[in-house]
Structures are given as structure tokens and as C-alpha cells.
Chain A
Amino acid sequence: MNDDLAIEVKELRKSFGSLQAVRGISFQAAKGEILSLLGPNGAGKSTTISMLAGLIAPDGGQASIMGHSITSQPHQARACVGVVPQDIALYPDLSARENLSFWGKMYGLRGAMLKSRVEEVLQVIGLTERQHDRVGAFSGGMKRRVNIGAALLHTPAVIIMDEPTVGIDPQSRRYILDNVKELMRQGMTVLYTTHYMEEAAELSDHIAIMDQGQIIAYGTHDELIRLVGEQTRLDLGLSVEAEGILPAWQEVEGVFQATASDGIATVLVDDSNRVLPRLFESAGKAGVRINSVDIHEPNLESVFLHLTGKALRDD
């Protein structure tokens, strides 16, 4: 067993009746990294997490958290983890503070330690001012924040978050994503599931793309992008008579291809940051005006499309 691994999953399997929800997946998360499980609804992300959290028993395979097997040492394994469930799991008739305090106790905190951790977490999730209000009266975003906070109280080595940003306002989402990055800075390992590729892209050190119970791709963001080729597409708005610039652009370093139609030049480049200034320079020399720029960097959406032939999101 590797001491640097926070999470190690090998050939984990789970079926519900005839439905194979998880079909022998393997992945690892090093200590202190953020690993995202990215996949559409029904991919098997929650099932995987339920197995890691000890809520359901795997049909086969192994997994360990901080070196503790989830099957033979479930209690030690659970003690290292804070699980943020996909559904909000709080007591609506208790206040935010009472909820946090209760869950802190469930994680074994007491007395002064409990009190100071509750204060800290309230600070982190930005609800110090609303701490005495009933959770039931909170907005969706605020509930989500308490839902996350409850898993942080005992400063676990590993945090598992199951789609923590589903159905909330952009502001709360921003808050949560910033929290996650902060946790990683504090040295926690985060396993993060989502079907939003922007979140996976922004947060993750590594991403495992999951579909139909399998991991179909694994790597850093850049490694995954490379799977579809690294070309960035630039759409540049020009006046129609300026299309004569295209042959010159073909010669610019880093440009693979330049075409135009209806006043839009489509240029495929290797790195927009390096190439765009050269295109502007060349246009300037030729007296051509560029009146709009659209950069289409390859994203995980295109990776998923490339790998499965379908869109990641249906919304």
C-alpha cells in the first residue's frame, strides 16, 4: 500500500439487481490533491461515494482511505473522512449552529474544541451572522453551505463531496468552490463529484471522467484535453474586403489553418495566448481591423463528446 495515497480504489463493483451501477472502477487520489469524478447523471458517482463512505457494501473490489480498508476497517476508514452527501442532510428545525454542533459531536468533538471548530466552520461557510436561524428557513445555497460545513468540523484528512453545488445560485457556488480550494490549501484531500465540467476544470488536480459505471478517462485537465488535440479555435470578426489577410496568417507561427466566411475568420492555433498578439501585429501591418475575438479553447465537454459521442449535460 502506498503511503502517499489518501484514496485508493481497485476494481470496485456494485449492481442493483440487473443494473450494473459501478463496473469495476479503479482510481487513486494522492494526499492533498483534489480529484474530481466528472460524469453525467446516472454515471455511478453517488454509488461509488456511498461505497467509500461505508453506506453500501461493494459487490467486489477493494478501496482504502488513508490506508484503512473500507471493508475490513470500516470504522477507522470512516473516522478519516468527512462526507458531504448529495442531498442536504440536516435538521431543518434546528439552527445552523445547533446542526453543526450536533454533527461535530457525532464526529467525536467535545467542549472547547467543538465550540471553536463550530465558530471556525461558521466563518468558513460565511454564516456566522445567521447561525441562530433555523436551517429550514435558509435558501438552497445557504443550506448547501451548512451541508458542507457539517463535514468539515473534525478536520478530516479526506473530504468527499457529492455534487455540492447542484441547484444553487452563482454566488453560493462561487463561495463553495473557493471553500474547496481553501480546504486543499489546508492540506485536505478532496474527492469531488460533479457533472459541471467548469467546476472540474477549475478545481481539480486530476479528473476521472465517468460514464455508465466506468471511468473512461483519467488525467490532469491538460492531459485530458490533449486527447481531443490541443487546437484552440479563434473566431475573428473582420470586414469582408479584409479577407485577403488570410494567406499572411497561414504563415504565422503556431497557426495550423485559417479560413473565412461572412466576415468571420476561423483560425486554428496551438496556443491563443502566444498566437493572438502575432495575428494582431500582422493585421496592423496590413491595415486590417479586427472588430471581435472569440476564443474556443478545447474543454472537457469536447473530451466527453469525443469519448462517448454524447453531451455531458442534458440541461
Chain B
Amino acid sequence: MRILDIAIKDLQQILRDRRAFLFIVAMPLVFTFFMGFAYRSMSQAPDPRLPIGLVDQDAGGELSQALGEGLAQAESFRLEAISAEQAENAVRSGKLAAALVVPPGFTRSVLAGTESQLELVVDPFSNRGQSVMEMVRPLVMHLYSSVEIAEMSLRAVESHIPFSSEVARQQELLAAFDTSWRAWDTSSEQGIAVEQVTSPPQAAHAEPFAGNPYNQASPGILVMFTLFGLITSATLLVQERRARTLQRMLTTALHTWEIMAGHLLAMFTLVLLQGLLLVVFGQLALGVNYLRQPLGVLLVMVSLAAWASALGLLIGTVAKGDEQVIVIAMISMFLLSALGGTWFPLEGAGRAFAAVGRLTPTAWAMTGFQNLLVRGLSFESTLLPFAIQLAYALGIFALAAWQFRRQAN
């Protein structure tokens, strides 16, 4: 009962502090918006595919058509049909990485066995130019080989049964080319795989953050400002010592653990309320679907509040003055937030960074949220993050309790 009285008194003090309102309510709301905008522009980043122009002067030709399809299907290219006059300028200005020029009568000439050159307009010394050359070359080789294979197989057939007419031969040759081209197409998946490695990461079509950048920003800010909000409640503990009210409490029949539990309860409640506020805001204003798995969200938040309030107790106990509270809380916040993936998903970070990040309790809070919001997993996916965060809570609390007892005596 007295635990509750202490907690209520703490909350009363905090709610009367105007600075607390700023820290706990106003700033996280503003930051959520801000981060959301930052992610939005990130997810609208320029198309990573290389823009490539096709000058098709062999309109209707089967080979140029196949070539166009081949380029369009390659995931590394964004194909644009252009005229011959535009080609040079577009490449020079960088608007296009390259332009492939198909000369007039290309299909007919190649099938007739006469020479006809494809031309690639490209800056061979630029990175993009080199990438394009590397990626276009196999496609062109593939085209010529397909024609060659068709020619060879036709000759084999011809030696037994000659064609009735030149037109029939042409038709058969085209059919053989088509078969060969497509056969290659399916078997050349590896070729495309190689292209993917050398090209910028695909991701052009997969929506980051499951389509809503606030799916990262909202829980990220929630976790980060949970730590920021600790400044207010930890300062209260320092003041309690400095104003000697802690000593006075110790002269009443209170037990030390009751005093600790009271302060802890106040911090826990505050963190939880702050979190709920941001969840409601995220749900209603930002379209983050927390309510899809309300129980899972609650589990993540309760365990987050548990370790965060224990950390608040520790900070308030260890810090010598108000300034130290701010310094320690800010350092904890920046370290745990950055490492724990509240600013950007750990999946996108380097391997070593992510490995270290995994050691922070913030990372587990984020994992819990992302499992629900981004990965669309079920409630069970929050059990592990819940358990690990609780373990952190116990550890931090043990440390805080040890310090607190040491000081009370």
C-alpha cells in the first residue's frame, strides 16, 4: 500500500513538471513525424536499376524484339525506347547509362548470314558504363549463339529433307531460333544471378518497412524516448536524496525495498503510459497497425517498461546530481538506441554492428515490434523478445537494488 503511495506521489510530482511533459509527450511525437519523413524519402530513393535506351531501327524484326524483351526482363535494367538522335546526348548527359542501337534490317541481315553490327553507346570508363557492357554482352552473345544454333540444326534437317521454299526455310529458322533463345533463357538463370550481384541490391519492388515507413519510425521512437523519459523519473530519485526526504522515509517504519518498489512502480507506469500514448498515436495518426496483435504489443511494451524502469532506478541511484542523470541517461539512450536498431533496422546494418546490437535490450524490443509490424508474424513471435527483455530487467534491477541498499546504509 505504501509502495503505491510512493508511486502516486512520484507521478504527481512528474506530472506537475512542465519539462516532463516536453520530454515525455511532445518530443517523441515530433520525432516520430520527423523520422517517418526521413524513412519515407529513403523508401522513395531513385530506382536502383540502370536506365538503358533501345534504339530499335529494325521495327518488327524478330531478333530485335527478342533483344528488347531480354533487356526488359533483366532486373538490372530499366528499358526506355528512344530515337537514334537522342541516344548520344542521353548517354553523355548521364540520363541513360547506355543506349543499344539496332541497325535497320538487323533481323533479315543476321538470318541471311550477312554482317550487321549492334552498337552500344556507352562511356566505357564510367562505372555504370562498365556494368552495362558486362551485362549486355552475354545477352548479345546469347542472341548470336541462338541464331547460330538454329542455323546449324536447320542445316542438319536440310541435309535429309530440303525445304520446299526459301520462305518455309526462313519460317523454320525463326522457329528454331525461338526455341533456342527461350531454352537458353530458362537455363541462363545463373547469368542473371551474377548480374544481380554486380548491380545495386534489387529491392526495387519489395516495399521496405512493409509499405509504411512509420512501421519503423513509430516503435523506434517509442523505444528511444522511453529511455529519454527516464531523465525525469531518475532526477526525482536524486532530488529525493538531496532534499533528505529519502532519509526521512528511512526513519519511518518503511522497509528499503518498499521505497525502491514505489519508485520502480512509478517509473514503470510512466514508461507504459508514454508507450501507450505513442502506440495510440501510431495507430490512429500514422497507420501503424499495432492493434493487429494487441496482446503481442502489450507483451513487448510491458517487458520494455520493466527493464527501462529498472534502468531508471539504477541511473537515479548512481548519479550524484541532476546533471549526471542527464548525461548518463543521454549516453544510455544514444548507445542503446543506435546499437539496438531504433534508428534503422539492424538487418540493414553491417554484420559486426548487428551482432553487437543484438546484445542490447533495445534490439529485442525492436525485434518484438518488427516481428508484429513489419514481418507480420503472430503473437508467439513476441515471446522470446519478452523473455529476454525480462531477463535484462531482472539483471539491471539487481544491480540497482544493490546500489540502493548500499547507499541507504
Contacts and interface: CB of A to CB of B under 8 A. Distances in A.
A81 B9 contact: no
A53 B251 contact: yes
Interface string A158-171: 00000000000000
B13 A94 contact: yes
Given A78-B252, A83-B251, A107-B253, A91 B9 contact: yes
B247 A94 contact: no
A87 interface: yes
B63 to A, nearest CB: 84
Interface in A58-85: 75, 78-79, 81, 83, 85
A162 to B, nearest CB: 11
B266 to A, nearest CB: 13
**Which of B9, B16, B251, B254 has the most CB atoms of chain A within a 10 A radius of its CB?**
B251
Interface string B347-361: 000000000000000
Contacts of A93: 13, 16-17
A54 B248 CA distance: 10
A221 to B, nearest CB: 29
Contacts of A88: 243-244
> How big is chain B's contact interface, by range?
20 to 34
B245 interface: yes
A55 B5 contact: no
A106 interface: yes
A105 interface: yes
B13 A78 contact: no
Contacts of B251: 53-55, 78, 81, 83, 85
B13 A90 contact: no
Given A85-B247, A98-B12, A105 B5 contact: yes
B394 interface: no
Contact of A83 (B1, B5, B13, B248): B248
Contacts of A103: 248, 252
Contacts of A56: 409
A92 interface: yes
B248 A85 contact: yes
Nearest to B408: A55
B72 interface: no
Nearest to B409: A57
Interface in B224-261: 243-245, 247-255
A56 B251 CA distance: 10
A102 interface: yes
A91 B252 contact: no
B2 interface: yes
Chain A contact residues, majority secondary structure: loop
Interface residues of A, number: 28
Contact of B2 (A53, A75, A106, A150): A106
**Which of A88, A94, A98, A105 has the most CB atoms of chain B within a 10 A radius of its CB?**
A105
Contacts of B250: 53-55
A78 B16 contact: no
A107 B252 contact: yes
Contact of B5 (A53, A85, A102): A102
A55 to B, nearest CB: 6
B253 A102 contact: no
Contact of B253 (A78, A92, A94): A78
A89 interface: yes
Contacts of A110: 1
Contacts of B2: 105-106, 108
Contacts of A108: 2, 253
Given A57-B409, A102-B5, A105-B5, A89 B253 contact: no
A262 B271 CA distance: 81
B260 to A, nearest CB: 14
B9 A102 contact: yes
A105 B6 CA distance: 9
B253 A79 contact: yes
Given A56-B409, A94-B12, A106-B254, 7 more contacts: A55-B247, A85-B248, A87-B244, A91-B243, A105-B5, A106-B2, A107-B252
20 contacts: A53-B251, A54-B250, A54-B251, A78-B253, A79-B253, A81-B251, A83-B248, A89-B243, A89-B244, A89-B248, A90-B245, A91-B243, A94-B12, A94-B13, A105-B2, A106-B2, A106-B6, A106-B252, A107-B252, A110-B1
Please name the 9 residue pairs, one residue from A and one from B, whose CB atoms are nearest each other, closest first.
A89-B244, A89-B248, A83-B251, A53-B251, A105-B5, A79-B253, A106-B252, A87-B244, A78-B253
Interface of A: 53-57, 75, 78-79, 81, 83, 85, 87-94, 98, 102-103, 105-108, 110, 150
